[in-house]
Amino acid sequence: MLKRRAIYALVVVLAIAAVPATLATRDRQDRPPFSYGPQLAPSAAPSTATVFAPPAMAPLPASLVRFGVNVMDGDVEQVRTLGLQWFILPAGDLRTAPTGTTAARLLFIGEPPSDAEMQARARRFPGTYWLIGNEPNVREQGDLSPERYARLLHHVAGVLRAADPAAKLVGPNVLNWTFICEGCPGYPEGRAWTEAMRAAYRALFSAEPPLDVWSLHAYDIDWLRLPNGDAARNVAQIEGMRSWLDSVGLRSAPLWVTEIGIHWGYPGLEIRSGVAHPTGDFDHEHAGRYLRELAGWLAANAEAARIEKWFLWVLSWKTAEPWQSQWTGISLMAGPERDAPVTPAGRLYRQLAGLP
């Protein structure tokens, strides 16, 4: 998710005046220097997100293999506790997937590991799906130009497939498609970045990017309506990438949504010393409605839109981003411990996946 993870050793400097202020009243210069963090907004009102009616989702035998989760601080055994089969592990994490589950693995943020390390990983986990880059259109994440990503993708594909011809590549994992954010500084549009990357790859190597799966992250980054989490807006991002793939001759390419979720599940926030603190209680009803609407649409449209999988952010997360006082989104487990309780959202996600 729109995140600044300690595990990735990203160094971010907070250049913020240490003056308590609310989102609605603080000065424009007194804000976290993050592409999608909250900045001055005319108002910060409770969400009035449009509630749409997705088709009723009857659990299907194949539905479970589409529902995945991202593992951050959690124990991978929690994936099996939930009954899910697919999950994504962060960069550098070489834990083996528990029996009955399958791990896709984020290979790199920004720059890849050494060739020797990539080949060692490929041999250790043959047939793995490797996520190539993480939000390369966002400076605090992958922060790669389209041409630089194209060159890295070409190199990484050769290195991985030399060690494991069955290795699968998933990318580019851009943040959103055409929607940027409301009430935040902003970042390059996912569609424009992806189009430029494909053009660069074709110009450099006279071929399509060697991706087995095309992918994006879908988030409603709206600091003017809290809690955020507009499922219809997420759907529009997914539909946008699918339509573009179809229009450029990649109709048969499968699509993964490698991150979905909400950023802020509270009705308000307050900035104190440059850090966003939640106000009010976490809105479980809103989070549940978001999950039902989005998962319902995904399950109903997966076959027609060739959406193979989607991964909720996050299993459990104790590590807040630098601009947060605490984790403020959805967690499926109440903590990172193996025996942590399943949250209400976790129970609902199980139900939506067709589990009893």
Contacts of 137 (CB under 8 A, 6+ apart): 174, 175, 187, 188, 189, 190, 193
pLDDT of residue 91: 84
Bond into 90 cis (ω within 30) = no
pLDDT of residue 273: 87
**SS3 label, residue 111:** coil
Q: Measuring CA to CA, which residue among 219, 223, 188 is closest to residue 26?
A: 223
List helix spans (H) across the chain.
77-82, 115-124, 146-163, 190-205, 231-247, 284-305, 344-352
Contacts of 191 (CB under 8 A, 6+ apart): 177, 178, 240, 241, 244
pLDDT of residue 318: 81
Tokens of 345: 């959202």
CA dihedral 193, 210, 216, 15 (to 10 degrees): -50
pTM: 0.87
1 is a domain residue: no
Q: Do the Cβ atoms of 241 and 284 come closer than 8 Å?
A: no
Our CA angle for 37, 40, 42, nearest 5°, is: 130
214 is a domain residue: yes
- Averaged over successive runs of 10 residues, the pLDDT of the chain (356 residues) comes to 38 27 35 69 49 45 83 92 94 90 96 97 97 96 97 98 98 98 94 98 98 98 96 98 98 98 95 91 97 95 97 90 91 94 96 91
pLDDT of residue 106: 97
Q: Which residue(s) pair with 272 in the sheet?
A: 275
Contacts of 310 (CB under 8 A, 6+ apart): 66, 67, 68, 256, 257, 258, 260, 295, 298
96 is a domain residue: yes
**SS3 label, residue 266:** coil
Q: Measuring CA to CA, which residue among 54, 101, 50, 48 is closest to residue 295?
A: 54
Q: Do the Cβ atoms of 254 and 306 come closer than 8 Å?
A: yes
CA distance linking residue 72 with residue 123, whole number of Å: 24
Domain count, the chain: 1
Task: Name the one residue in this structure whose structure tokens are 């409605």.
Answer: 289
Would you list the DSSP string of 315-342?
S------TTBSS--S--SBSSSSTTPPB
254 is a domain residue: yes
For the domain that residue 133 is a member of, what is the CATH number?
A: 3.20.20.80
Contacts of 62 (CB under 8 A, 6+ apart): none
* Structural domain boundaries enclosing 218: 6-352
Q: Do the Cβ atoms of 198 and 250 come closer than 8 Å?
A: no
CA distance linking residue 229 with residue 291, whole number of Å: 9
10 is a domain residue: yes
Q: Do the Cβ atoms of 236 and 190 come closer than 8 Å?
A: no
Q: Which residue(s) pair with 108 in the sheet?
A: 132
pLDDT of residue 18: 29
CA distance linking residue 197 with residue 153, whole number of Å: 10
